[in-house]
Amino acid sequence: MIYIWLLFVIILANVCMQAKFDIAEAAKVKTKVMSTVATRWRQFKSTLTTKFVFAKSEGQQTQDVVTKYGLDPEAWKQFEETRLTPNWEVSLICQS
């Protein structure tokens, strides 16, 4: 479900970038839309990390994220592996 929503947002953003608007503030709107999409994407990845990757490593029972969000199993495995690397965890600590 979220995969379909994300795909819709990406397509909408692409259409907005290619469309020619006669609105004086179109550039500002485009910037705001792209900024919002980027923020939501970071929030979604953060949610996946905290609710599924770290919960699994802490022994909590989690739902099947692949089924829940319609993700590609191989892509999820790669995402999960990157979140569990020492380099990523060090960068997370440095940001705090």
> What pLDDT, on the 0 to 100 scale, is given for residue 5?
64
pLDDT at 40: 92
* 48-52 long-range contacts, CB within 8 A, separation 24+: 48/79, 49/83, 52/80
| Distance from C-alpha of 79 to C-alpha of 48, rounded to nearest angstrom | 9
Q: Where are the alpha helices (DSSP H) in 1-96?
A: 2-18, 26-48, 54-57, 65-69, 73-83, 86-95
- Comparing CA positions, the residue from 37, 39, 42, 49 lying closest to residue 12 is 37
Q: What is the pLDDT along the chain (96 residues), one digit of tens a residue?
A: 566 666 666 776 666 666 555 566 777 888 888 899 999 999 998 888 888 888 876 666 667 888 888 888 899 999 989 988 888 766 666 765
Q: How far apart are CA 3 and CA 9, in angstroms?
A: 10
Distance CA 6, CA 35 (A): 14
pTM of the full structure:
0.62
Task: Determine the pLDDT at residue 62.
Answer: 63
Report the sign of the C-alpha dihedral through residues 43, 46, 50, 53, in that order. positive
CA 41 to chain centre: 3
